[in-house]
Structure 1
Amino acid sequence: MSTPRERLAAVGNQIPPLIALIVLWMLLWGEFSWLNLLVGLSVGLIVTVAFYLVPVQLSGRLHPWHTLVFFVRLLRDIVRASVDVAWLAVKPGLTTSNAILAIELRTRSDLILTWTAVATSIVPGSIVVDIDRESSTLFLHVLNMHSARDIERFRRQVLDTERRIVRGFGSREDVERMRGVRPENRLSARRAARADRPLKKGLS
């Protein structure tokens, strides 16, 4: 049986999707009015209550500087990729070589997985075609892949995007995982350090 705190957290986790649905409804109508706002709120409530949505646990952490770095870098990647794709469209004698790549992320957060998929898809030249939630793997269709070096460079770009997202608003556990330290290892290290303190005092 869930505690009041867990129920409150579950309700709080539904607020961001509800707001997103309201904004999407307003964008579809193309204008703001109180009627559209009320109808959007009603539709959002029906969707979030009547249909099962996998709960996304918010990290509760926001680092302003790293978040700004993520969005600035994302904007730069979009501009640069737009120029590259435009050049491919008019390049004479173009030989296309596309690829489907499977890239496993280093975190296991649904929130980070979603943000990374969206951030990667809105950059021209690549799009997510499938996601394996269990292994946090993105399957992407990527343009202009001619060698193993191109594939590795794109893979690093996706992982760098994930790293910037985690540093901006990922949980502390995600940050630790990105550093190569699992939360359980960190906890074990703390316990071992506490156990060594009495021994060191006795030897001194």
Structure 2
Amino acid sequence: MRQRLREAPSHWLEILGATVFWCLLWGGRFSPSDVLGGLLVAAVVVILFPLPRLSVELTLRPWSFLTFVARFLADMFVSSLQVSWYALRPSGTPGNSVIAVQLRSRSDLFLTATGMLCTLVPGSVVVEAQRSTGTLFLHVIGAYDTATVEAARQRVLRQEERVLRALARRDVLEGAHLP
């Protein structure tokens, strides 16, 4: 317990974030009593229920990150137009499939990030993620034959590659066989 008390100041960002969240929960007021109460509750939570240490798998590559963000926004825009077209077109419902995509990285962090990003792009949603095999199962609108299923699978793999190139350490990239 004493060690946790000594470590509390090093968790100032967690305490600050929890304090802001506390104030927002109490109606968005940032009165002195709300802030002090939030600081107290946050400090107690951080001391009694510490988060596990994360492995440091991240490194920021600014140019790759900007490329990743720009491409992600473009994918969202194009997919929004496609889903809108599927909703408004006079013909029947589009074909869809549940596809399995074996990711190259074995990192839980990048498996989760890739899954979240794929779900944020309209027209696809992760229905299952198998941590042990690094496989994402996605429901994809517009994937109805071998060619469109393979195209959807390649989009997911390119998304993972952009995430890895933007944020992964060199050893994670090498483990995913990306130079």
TM-score scaled by length of structure 1: 0.67
Instruction: Find 1:33's aligned residue among 11, 30, 37.
Output: 30
Asked if structure 1 preserves the Cα contact closer than 8 Å seen for 2:58 and 2:169, the reply is: yes
Please report how far the alpha carbon of residue 58 of structure 1 lies from its aligned counterpart in structure 2 after TM superposition: 2.6
State which structure, 1 or 2, has the greater radius of gyration over its C-alpha atoms.
1
In structure 2, do the counterparts of structure 1 residues 44 and 134 end up closer, same or farther at CA, with 3 Å as the change threshold?
farther
From 87, 90, 93, the equivalent of 2:91 is 93
Give the match's secondary structure for 1:77: helix
Q: CA deviation at 1:61?
A: 1.4
1:105/1:36 CA distance change after superposition, 3 Å: farther
Distance 1:27 1:120 in 2: 30
Question: Following the alignment from structure 2 to structure 1, what is the Cα–Cα distance between the partners of residues 116 and 36?
Answer: 26
Q: After TM superposition, where is structure 1 displaced by more than 6 Å over at least 4 residues in a row?
A: 14-30
Pairs within 5 Å for 1:59-98 = 59-98=57-96
Q: Structure 1 vs Structure 2: percent identity of aligned residues?
A: 34
For 1:150, the aligned partner's letter is T
Secondary structure at 1:58 match in 2: coil
**Pair 1:120 & 2:130 matched:** no
What is the RMSD computed on CA atoms of the aligned residues? 3.5
Quote the residue 1:147 is aligned against.
145
Q: CA deviation at 1:135?
A: 1.1
1:169 aligns with 2:167: yes
**Quick check: 16-25 or 116-125, which moved more?**
16-25
Q: Distance in 2 between matches of 1:44 and 1:128?
A: 35
In structure 1, list runs of 5 or more residues that go unmatched.
Answer: 1-7, 182-204
Distance of aligned partners of 1:87 and 1:30 in 2 relative to their CA distance in 1, 3 Å threshold: farther
> How far is 1:114 from its partner?
1.3
Structure 1 CA distance, aligned partners of 2:27 and 2:78? 29
Q: Which runs of 5+ in 2 are unaligned?
A: 1-6
